[in-house]
Amino acid sequence: MSLDSSQDSPQSGNHEFELALGLCQAGQYSLAQEKLESFLQKNPKHAAALHQLGLVHAVQRDFKAAESAVRAAVELQPGEATFHSNYGNILQYLNRPAEAMAQYDQAIALEPSFSQAHFNRGLALQKLGQHESALVSFTKAMELSPRWDDPVLNRGNSFLFLLRYEEAITDYDRAIALNPSAALAYINRGALFFKQNRPKEGLDSFVQGLRIDPTNASAFRNYADMLAQLGDCVSAANAYGRAYELSPSENFALGSCIHQKVLGADWYRLGELMTEHRQRLARHEAVAAPFGFMGFAETEDALFAAANIYSKEKYPVRALSAPTLFPHDKIRIGYLGGEFCAQATAYLLTGILEAHDRDHFEIVAFDNGRDDGSEIRRRQNAAFDEVIPISGFTDEVAASMIKQSQIDILIDLNGFFGNARQGVLAYRPSPVQVSYLGCPGTMGTDYMDYLIADETVIPRGSELFYSEKIVRLPHSYQCNDDKREISPRIFSRAELGLPDTGFVFCCFNNIYKILPETFDRWVRILKQVEGSVLWLFESHPVAVENLRKEAAARGLDPARLIFAKQVPLPDHLARHRLADLFLDTLPYNAHTTASDALWAGLPLLTLTGSTFPGRVATSLLRAIDLPELITTRPEEYEAKAIDLATHPEKLSALKVKLAKNRLTSPLFNTKLYTEHFEAALTAIYERSKAGLRPDHIEIKA
């Protein structure tokens, strides 16, 4: 979108106006504004001068003043197409695309061959999410100006949004042919290649675009997104950092940079970046990508602010009202997710899918991922009444599919995590929408009605930090599958890289949950327990190298850090037998990994945090009746770890208690959990059926 001043030619004798136009061409906008305002004091109804003043205000980003001036010009000279088109552009800058459309339509009615107006109309339609209509406007602009690359590039963007990938690539290639310096065409084509699982071509195209325009912050952020998805946390952190350096206001680049750094255990300048992040978030700036932020957020209000800003920016409300409940004999539950495969969410969820009461519930999966052919997916396919793939459809089409399926309660399993489809939820395809399991916190938006939790992860009084109404289950909010297989394989210490003797602390959490403060605690513990080692999960090689360097910097032999390679889940559960005590992380606890440890018979020591992600392990330990392993202060956590490691009889007693509780307490009682979960769904349904607004719900044991 650009501003067109070609119609503003001075009338004979208007020397001051002519001088102002010259100053504009020279980029002297402040002086030009003074001259125009002086001229307009003597000629208040000079439409061209008012129009030019509006453009000067717009260039200086004073869009309210720009709107006032250009609107006055339009009223004085309504037959000038350029005035209407630029008025529309200013309205777009003010985020009023629907009003802008009316101005573009008027410009086109006055001058049907005005290619700039057709192009700008296409941009407004894109902003309104009307990509099919945008294609028509861009195509018309292309016909009128066949050598102009911008309409071709933006038509490609609409094809990309509509998942018409081959047509998008054709347009990006055409835009490059028209303008070999069209950096965005290379960059957008790179993103498209990545969506088509062509990462090498995608990276090459991105690099070409960034060579042309090395100051494009948005392009660096998109490049970083691709690198992050490829698992290159080092390059991704650098690219996010570059985007942030180029433009500190680049949406969410700072938070994403921090997340990628901690994925690689790169703690250089980490405290400084986190402080800057906290300060900018406190000013309500768009710096926090919510999922990554959960790894280092310390307060519930900060998490709420991050979620609210992100949801408004990325996935605003697309529909104002939900459909009403449909007449069914059974309650129809839709599970929306991208991880119906061999992944943590599926390992937790599958048991309750199989245990659902089929006399009262029908369950449908809306799959934004893929069928990976795994055993867990086979079980899920058998459990669902229907599995509907949606990954190949736009948000609007996918939402329409859900609505046509007449779902009574739509359960989102992703939130901000993984293959999420928050844009689908923004269309309100279901009468009731519930956040569950995948996102340990609020979505910060009005189109999510309920959040499944418990009294530990969301204590009384914390409701104000959540946009959803809270449904509290009686034990832990986290479900578990009591059919999870533990391999009978007996591992030796040697084959897993563990020393023949000595106490084995372990933490199989993702590396991004390990922050310097937690690592400091672990080093102090290891130094107090002679011969002990710390067994961690091996992720990115650079993280292994960095953690060993951090150990050495703290005076700990790096050889005391042992890294576990990825193995099939049954074997992973079985190798827990060689660990003595699981040490939890903060501010983001072990979640599925905590259940893994407890299911495998390994005691887990946690430190209760101040946010939902930091209270999950406490919730699980309460549900399995092991309060002895819950601490509330860092000093208590360290002392307890050292005490258990140096008093084997105490640890042995805990292991005996865990073995007894494992099959008798609520945590791993899938049938009991499902009954409580279904009671919650029924209570939600009955409120909706009665026409009542969502409210907090508590399910009793």
Of all helices (H) and strands (E), which one includes residue 507? Answer: strand 504-507
Residue 76: how many other CB atoms lie within 10 Å? 16
- Asked if omega into 587 is within 30° of 0 (cis), the reply is yes
Output the pLDDT for position 7.
43
Categorize the per-residue pLDDT at 363 as very low, low, confident or very high, splitting at 50, 70 and 90. Answer: very high
Annotation: CATH topology of 331-473: Rossmann fold (3.40.50)
In whole angstroms, what is the distance from residue 115 CA to residue 131 CA? 18
Question: Does pLDDT of 366 surpass 60?
Answer: yes
String of DSSP letters for 354-401: HHS-TTTEEEEEEESS-----HHHHHHHHHSSEEEE-TTS-HHHHHHH
Which one is the CATH code of 494-668: 3.40.50.10790, 3.40.50.2000, 3.40.50.720, 3.30.930.10?
3.40.50.2000
Max distance between CA atoms of the chain, in angstroms, equals: 101
Annotation: CATH topology of 1-111: 1.25.40
Task: Quickly state the pLDDT bin for 10 (edges 50, 70, 90).
Answer: very low
Higher pLDDT, 260 or 20: 260
How far is it, in rounded angstroms, from Cα 508 to Cα 583?
A: 9
Higher per-residue pLDDT: 619 or 45: 619
Q: Is the pLDDT of residue 5 over 60?
A: no
As a whole number of angstroms, the distance between CA 146 and CA 161 comes to: 23
* Model pLDDT for residues 398-424, shown as the tens digit of each residue: 999 999 999 999 999 999 999 999 999
Residues paired with residue 582 on neighbouring β-strands, in sequence order: 506, 604
**Rounded CA separation 111/93 (Å):** 23
Q: Is 86 a residue whose pLDDT tops 60? A: yes
Instruction: Please give the residue that has the higher pLDDT: either 10 or 504.
Output: 504
Q: Which residues contact 184 (CB under 8 A, 6 or more apart)?
A: 153, 209, 213, 216, 219
Judging by DSSP bridges, how do beta strands 386-389 and 604-607 pair with one another?
unpaired
In the chain, % of residues over pLDDT 90: 85
pLDDT band at 38 (very low <50, low <70, confident <90, very high): confident
Burial of 567 (0-12, 13-18, 19+ CB in 10 A): middle
Q: Give tens-digit pLDDT for 115-125.
A: 999 999 999 99
The pLDDT of residue 471 is above 80: yes
Asked if the model's pLDDT at residue 1 lies above 70, the reply is no
Q: What is the mean pLDDT of residues 27-35?
A: 83
Are 154 and 172 contacting, i.e. CB atoms less than 8 angstroms apart? no
For residue 227, pLDDT beyond 50: yes
Fold match, 331-473 / 494-668: yes
Q: Please, what is the angle between helix 592-599 and helix 344-355, to 10°? A: 70
Decide if pLDDT at 544 tops 90: yes
φ, ψ for residue 501 (rounded to 5)?
Answer: -135, 170
pLDDT in tens, 186-202: 999 999 998 888 989 99
At residue 277 the predicted structure's pLDDT band, cuts being 50, 70 and 90, is very high
602-616 average pLDDT score: 98
CA–CA dist 585, 505 (Å, integer): 13
> Band of the pLDDT at 339, cuts 50, 70, 90?
very high
- Mean residue pLDDT of the chain comes to 94
The pTM assigned to this predicted structure is 0.89
Q: Domain map of the chain by residue range?
A: 1-111, 331-473, 494-668
pLDDT, position 4: 63
Contacts 24+ apart (CB under 8 A), 375-379: 375/342, 376/341, 376/342, 376/346, 376/347, 376/350, 377/340, 377/341, 377/342, 377/346, 379/350, 379/353, 379/354
* Residues sharing a CB contact under 8 Å with residue 535, sequence separation 6 or more, in sequence order: 498, 504, 505, 506, 507, 508, 562, 563, 564, 579
pLDDT-derived band at 2 (thresholds 50, 70, 90) equals low
pLDDT of residue 6: 46
The gap between the terminal CA atoms of the chain, to the nearest Å, is 59
Q: How far is CA 659 from the centre of its chain?
A: 38
